[in-house]
Amino acid sequence: VYLLMSHHLLALTDAALREELVELGDEVGRAGGLARLPAVLALRFASHEGYEFQVSTMAGAPLFRSAGLGPGGLPRPDARPTSSGEPAYERITLDGIGPVRMASRVVPGPSGPLLIQAIVTLAPNARALRELVIVLLSTGPLALACALGGGYWLARRALAPVDRMTATAAEITATRLDQRLDEPGTEDELGRLARTFNAMIARLQRSFEEVRRFTADAAHELRTPLAAMRTEAEVALRSPRSPERDGRVLEDLLEEIERLTRLVSQLLFLCREDTGIGAGDFRPVRLDELVREVGEHMQVAAREKGVELDIELPTPCPVQGDADRLRRLFFNLIDNAIKYTPTGGRVMVRGESPNGQIHMTIADTGIGIPAEHLPYVFDRFYRVNPSRSPETDGTGLGLAICRSIVEAHGGRIEIDSVVGSGTRIRLALPMQGEARPGRARHGTLQRGSAEITV
């Protein structure tokens, strides 16, 4: 503030000096000759409150001095005025006057250029600056205190929503994921932060609910065979010993143990998929050879069921992936197609490769799935109807495992079915050189991916 005020006062002083020099130059031009110059200038500039003037030749000979100047007059300017007529300003100190501001200018005279000079005391400027310092020293602490207080109040008011968000976030725990931050309804940083945080909590809530549901379903599925095994064992212990009966009990126990082993194996597989273990171990795989290999193994089950399994695939069919997981994927899908196709039915595997893409179709003429169940068939432990086929005894994890494998390969899986006509599962995988481990991406399949319809 002090420096700004000082520069402002000096600018006002220079402007006033310039106006005085303009008037002095005009009078010099109207004097008519050097002889008349002192008398003409004395009429206006001999005594001018606050200002003193001097006119001299360029050689330094004085022609006119105002009454306030001593015999020595004004010194020659350190900054020589330009011929353009613009004044040169400088600060000097004169005996008997003190600090002054001096302006010098060259103007045309009757017999050649003349140097005109004007000064004004800087005492008013110094007095104004001293008063400013006094005002600043007296009011500065109060102004500073008000500024600090106002700034603190504004900061607290601006940060109040953040404090509320912090308090609400501190209350959110694994058992209270239904809590949400209050959204201010604005498009500023706080509004975007609240919406992003709420979206994150919603995702966490869904994940926790899925984990709880999965844990409960797994506990239920594990408890069922264990309860059956315990019942069989207790009945056997209470009953009289009989080789024939003991053999049946052992067969039942072995069947439950196999079911339990299969369930635990599937649960462990899903856990490995969820944690991404082995997700990056992808190598080139001939999908046509892999599916034919799976088909050859499944021909035995198809013949026993009285179902025709027909496979026609394009050659070659290269993809990038994990051969073991892909083998398990197609085993589950073809096994399901055979299981739910009645005797005399047909399971068809077809393939073609138009426009650089690979399309496969595995369709069955089975019992089909009601439309209301289709959105949930890939959920873990979901069963359309546990009693819909007396020959099947699934865990409800087969299609969930299929989806997990497909998503681990960066693909997508879909299903459509008509009751009484059959089921078809649409499967898409990236081709070799484009496969990336990760979750499935939704949207239309682009050129360069392998599309398999089951």
Comparing 20 with 217, the larger pLDDT belongs to: 20
For residue 442, pLDDT over 50 is answered with no
pLDDT of residue 13: 92
Q: What is the domain partition of the chain in residue ranges?
A: 2-121, 206-275, 283-453
**Sequence-ordered list of residues with C-beta below 8 angstroms from that of 87, at least 6 positions apart, any chain:** 14, 17, 18, 21, 81, 103, 104, 105
Token couple for 26: 């005009």
In this predicted structure, which of 362-371, 384-393, 429-438 has the lowest mean pLDDT?
384-393
Can you tell me the mean pLDDT for 234-239? 81
pTM of the model: 0.53
pLDDT of residue 392: 52
Phi, psi of 380 (to 5 degrees): -70, 135
Can you tell me the mean pLDDT for 226-238? 82
Token couple for 353: 């490769």
pLDDT of residue 84: 60
Can you tell me the mean pLDDT for 130-153? 86
Rounded CA-CA distance 332/338 in Å is 10
CATH of domain 283-453: 3.30.565.10
Residue with tokens 């106006």: 19
Can you tell me the mean pLDDT for 81-93? 80
Comparing 417 with 39, the larger pLDDT belongs to: 417
- pLDDT tier at 228, thresholds 50, 70, 90: confident
> Fold match between 2-121 and 283-453?
no
pLDDT of residue 386: 53
Alpha helix locations (H) across 239-370? 243-275, 287-305, 323-339
For residue 360, pLDDT over 70 is answered with yes
In this predicted structure, which of 40-54, 266-280, 321-335, 415-429 has the lowest mean pLDDT?
266-280
Instruction: Identify the H or E element spanning 234.
Output: helix 189-238
Rounded CA-CA distance 21/394 in Å is 109
pLDDT digits (tens, 9 = 90+) for 377-423: 888 888 886 544 444 556 788 888 888 888 888 788 888 999 999 99
Token couple for 227: 């309860």
The answer to whether the Cα torsion of 430, 436, 440, 443 is positive or negative is negative
CATH of domain 206-275: 1.10.287.130
Can you tell me the mean pLDDT for 334-362? 81
Question: Are 340 and 357 a contacting pair, CB within 8 Å?
Answer: no
pLDDT of residue 342: 92
Give, in words, the CATH class of 2-121: alpha beta
- pLDDT tier at 37, thresholds 50, 70, 90: confident
pLDDT of residue 338: 93
Q: 140 by DSSP, 3-state: which?
A: helix
Angle (CA) 250-251-257 rounded to 5° is: 85
Q: What is the chain's alpha carbon radius of gyration, rounded to the nearest angstrom?
A: 50
Rounded CA-CA distance 72/42 in Å is 18
Regarding beta strands 346-352 and 358-364, do their DSSP bridges make them parallel or antiparallel, or are they unpaired?
A: antiparallel
Q: 361 by DSSP, 3-state: which?
A: strand
Question: Are 446 and 311 a contacting pair, CB within 8 Å?
Answer: no
pLDDT of residue 356: 59
For residue 160, pLDDT over 60 is answered with yes
Computed over every residue of the chain, the mean pLDDT equals 81
pLDDT digits (tens, 9 = 90+) for 177-191: 888 877 777 777 878
Q: 430 by DSSP, 3-state: which?
A: strand
For residue 82, pLDDT over 80 is answered with no
Question: Are 78 and 61 a contacting pair, CB within 8 Å?
Answer: no
- pLDDT tier at 433, thresholds 50, 70, 90: low
